Amino acid sequence: MGGTARGPTIGVFDSGFGGLTVLRELLPLIPGAHYVYLGDTARLPYGSKSRETIVRYAVSSARFLEERGAELLVVACNTATALALDELRAALTIPVIGVIAPGAEAAATCGGDAPPGDVLVLATQATVESHAYARACAALGLWAIEKACPLLVPLVEEGWIGEGQIGAARGTWDAGRGTWNAAMSAVTAEVLRIYLGEALRDAPRSRTLLLGCTHYPLLRPAIARTLDELGRSLRVIDSAQATARSVARALGVEGDGVAAGPGLATCEFFATDSVEKFERLGSRFLGRPVRGVQLVDLGG
Ligand code: DGL
């Protein structure tokens, strides 16, 4: 791996756009790589589906990326990592890295010398029911309280992230009047107040909030505001950076920002549903324009 003239080809897979937050961290860390990203948008959300279905979707998505030349697969989806990591490793011939172990490690180390306290994990229903985070945290001596937040993925997918909404979810966004923005922000803020209020009642000793879903980093400013309102000060972390560092380690690319390969990163994007929507929302997740998305049919 990594011996090609243009650096390694890294496959990155998510049920939708959220995994682009992981790709965003990979690009500066391993800029010499070629990235092939697949968003299985036609079959999203994974987080409300059964284990059997999630495994089937994840394996077919991962096989597609291996066939496109991926030499390492990043499962940039918490739900697929929680429910299908073993099956993915069995089905592929390339190394597979998920987001949950790096996320738990980030939770264990984010406070420096300060004790990490209990870890409150926000995630999809399927991730919570798998208790994959509780196990990963327990392995590091941490107690995790897991809270399912099923409304957050649709809000993010619609671009209702509460601050600088993603594009115009419906109709025309009137930036001058700001009507849509205010209404959408209010809905997202209320949902966060309910989820975080409930979760913090169950987890009074938690000092770390782990965003256990690749969509949630887009809600970070709104989450921080809600925590302020609730009078709670928690370290908020996500697994994207820690996952990118795990990938760099697996590729033998140590140190900060060291290129594996000679050039600037190149990216190919595939989606199983509307490429227009992927380009529009994906650009916000990635923090740079997402262009040339190709439609792929992976079946049902
Ligand atoms: N990407 C999924 C995750 O990180 C969230 C979206 C979904 O439910 O498919 O858990």
Collapsing DSSP states into helix, strand and coil, what is residue 69? coil
pLDDT of 176 over the 50 cut: no
Residue by residue, what is the 3-state secondary structure of 185-232? HHHHHHHHHHHHHHHHHHCCCEEEEEECCCCHHHHHHHHHHHHHHCCC
Amino acid at 95: P
* Domain-located, residue 2: no
Question: Domain check: are 205 and 128 in the same one?
Answer: yes
Nearest in space to 292 (alpha carbons), one of 37, 65, 17, 10: 37
Question: Domain check: are 109 and 233 in the same one?
Answer: yes
Tell how far the Cα of 127 is from the centroid of ligand 1, in angstroms.
9
Atom 7 of ligand 1: nearest residue by CA position:
45
pLDDT-based confidence at residue 175 (cuts at 50, 70, 90)? very low
pLDDT tens figures, 91-146:
999 999 999 999 999 999 987 777 768 999 999 999 999 999 999 999 999 999 99
Question: Domain check: are 200 and 94 in the same one?
Answer: no
Q: What is the pTM assigned to this prediction?
A: 0.90
Tell how far the Cα of 58 is from the centroid of ligand 1, in angstroms.
11
Percent of the chain clearing pLDDT 90 (strictly above): 72
Tell how far the Cα of 262 is from the centroid of ligand 1, in angstroms.
33
| Range of lowest pLDDT (51-55, 159-163, 261-265) | 261-265
Nearest in space to 241 (alpha carbons), one of 9, 3, 14, 27: 27
C-alpha to C-alpha distance for 59 and 28, rounded to whole angstroms? 28
For 92, the domain range is 9-98+243-295
* Domain-located, residue 3: no
C-alpha to C-alpha distance for 78 and 76, rounded to whole angstroms? 7
Residue 95's alpha-carbon distances to 56, 66, 109, in angstroms, are 19, 10, 25
* Domain-located, residue 114: yes
Catalytic residue list contains 137: no
| pLDDT score recorded for residue 163 | 58
Tell me how many domains the chain contains: 2
| pLDDT score recorded for residue 263 | 53
| pLDDT score recorded for residue 133 | 98
Examine the fold and report which residue of 201, 222, 239 is the final residue of a domain before the chain moves on: 239
Q: Is the dihedral of CA 56, 35, 238, 91 positive or negative?
A: positive
Tell how far the Cα of 201 is from the centroid of ligand 1, in angstroms.
25
pLDDT-based confidence at residue 181 (cuts at 50, 70, 90)? low
Nearest in space to 253 (alpha carbons), one of 60, 54, 7, 51: 7
* Domain-located, residue 77: yes
Residue ranges lining ligand 1, Cβ < 6 Å:
14-16, 18, 44-47, 77-79, 124, 127, 153, 213-215
| Range of lowest pLDDT (156-160, 257-261, 268-272) | 257-261
C-alpha 112: how far from chain center: 24
Catalytic residue list contains 267: no
C-alpha to C-alpha distance for 223 and 229, rounded to whole angstroms? 10
- Measured from the Cα of 48, ligand 1's closest atom is 8
